Amino acid sequence: MTVYSAPGLLVPDDLESSFVRPGDYPVHIAAFAPPRRSPAPEPGNGPVYLDPAMHAVIQRAHRIANSDASVLIRGESGTGKEVIARYIHRNSPRSAGPFVAVNCAAIPEQLLESELFGHERGAFSGALAQRIGKLEAAQNGTLLLDEISEMDRKLQAKLLRAIQEREVDRIGGRTPVRLNVRIVATTNRDIELEVKRQTFREDLYFRLNVVSVHIPALRNRPADIPALAEYFIAKYRREAGSGQRRLSPAALLALSAHNWPGNVRELENTIHRALVLTTEATIEPGALEVGPPSVADMPGSAGFVCRPLHLMERDAIIAALRSTGGNRTHTASMLGLSIRALRNKIGLYLSQGIDVPPSGGVPGTQ
């Protein structure tokens, strides 16, 4: 079986669990095969995904990696923008160089200039020694400017000059330092609107937006939800040293029905919390604490609570089939069913006139 994936994990921007070591992920997740002209990502260095929407993102990122163009990565908070930035770096000619990240929203304005450009000893009160800025630290590598839209306009002008001239002036310095750095920036805002409001410089926007990548919200890539949930279960189960854990069909249905306003970061916290709250081998909806699923949006569903068990099972199976694009093998593995049992269930639903996602809904699956 082949699915859209690469050995790794698409996780939120500020988490250290951005990449998966070989053997961490279930074996039914296969490696993404990039274009022949581009170097294939090494095991453990790429995002993992199942949804076709993310397939397009990874293909675009892989093409971008071989160039030296500046990249602007867009997406809601928690969608995995830094992970895509790291993927681009790891598959670029600069992969042997450093990857340096600066969170423009987390550093106070008065400190961000020194953080980026560095300073000489005695340049200002408290500058007791020379400090190399992040631009210099990223020499021959990649500099990630996370949430670039939060940067003050005055500092934007200095950053623009450094990018255009390929040199940096340390605060208090006399001689510019030449730069050989690729710039990747991220934003969770409508940056074109910020340009119109004159809170973000138009010239810097055009300099950064040579190539752009948009990461869809988790709610818009539903096939990634069960795959990410499985990964987080494996991750936190190992940390706790507990035995095998599995989501029940009803829990899977609850996850698939949730809107995930916090995206992958919220999903990770949800799974972590569930493993803390239950010691059972099977994780039920109550441990997830994501609220009752919105089953009103699902065909044939009249409510989740106090419904016959066979209807809940049917809805869970159909939801799982949708999330995997109709992939029978992956759905059976995810639900803990044999492939024969799943096919028998599907045959029953079809005989009852129930709309079941067709097999092979995602190219490359079976």
Which structural domains are found in the chain, ordered by start? 96-216 (3.40.50.300), 219-351 (1.10.8.60)
Task: Write down the pLDDT at residue 145.
Answer: 97
pLDDT band at 124 (very low <50, low <70, confident <90, very high): low
Average pLDDT over residues 228-245: 82
Question: What is d(CA 154, CA 38) in angstroms, rounded to the nearest whole number?
Answer: 39
For residue 216, the one-letter residue type is: P
At residue 184, the 3 state secondary structure works out as strand
pLDDT tens digit sequence for 176-225: 889 999 999 999 999 999 999 999 999 999 999 999 999 999 999 999 99
| Lateral strand order in the sheet of 71-74 | 99-103, 142-146, 182-187, 71-74, 211-214
pLDDT of res. 108: 84
Q: How confident is the model at residue 106 (pLDDT cuts 50, 70, 90)?
A: confident
Q: Name the burial class of residue 131, with classes exposed (0-12), middle (13-18) and buried (19+) by CB atoms within 10 angstroms of its CB.
A: middle
User: Residue 247: enclosing H or E segment and its boundaries?
Assistant: strand 246-247
Burial of 13 (0-12, 13-18, 19+ CB in 10 A): buried
Q: Please give the mean pLDDT across all residues of the chain.
A: 79
User: Which stretch of DSSP H or E encloses residue 347?
Assistant: helix 339-351
Residue pointed to by tokens 């790429």: 46
User: Which pLDDT score is estimated for 240?
Assistant: 64
Which pLDDT score, from 0 to 100, does residue 360 have?
60
pLDDT of res. 75: 95
Amino acid identity at 71: V
pTM: 0.68
Buried b (16+ CB within 10 A) or exposed e, 42-80: eebbbbbbbbbbbbebbebbbbbbeeeebbbbbbbbbbb
The whole-angstrom separation of Cα 53 and Cα 47 is 13
pLDDT digits (tens, 9 = 90+) for 79-95: 999 999 999 999 999 99
Q: In the structure encoding, which two tokens stand for residue 135, read together?
A: 């631009």
- Name the pLDDT band for 76 (thresholds 50, 70, 90): very high
The token pair that represents 240 in the structure block: 């706790």
Identify which has the larger pLDDT, 162 or 300. 162
In this structure, of 124-133, 144-153, 338-347, 350-359, the range with the lowest mean pLDDT score is: 124-133
pLDDT given for residue 358 in this prediction: 84
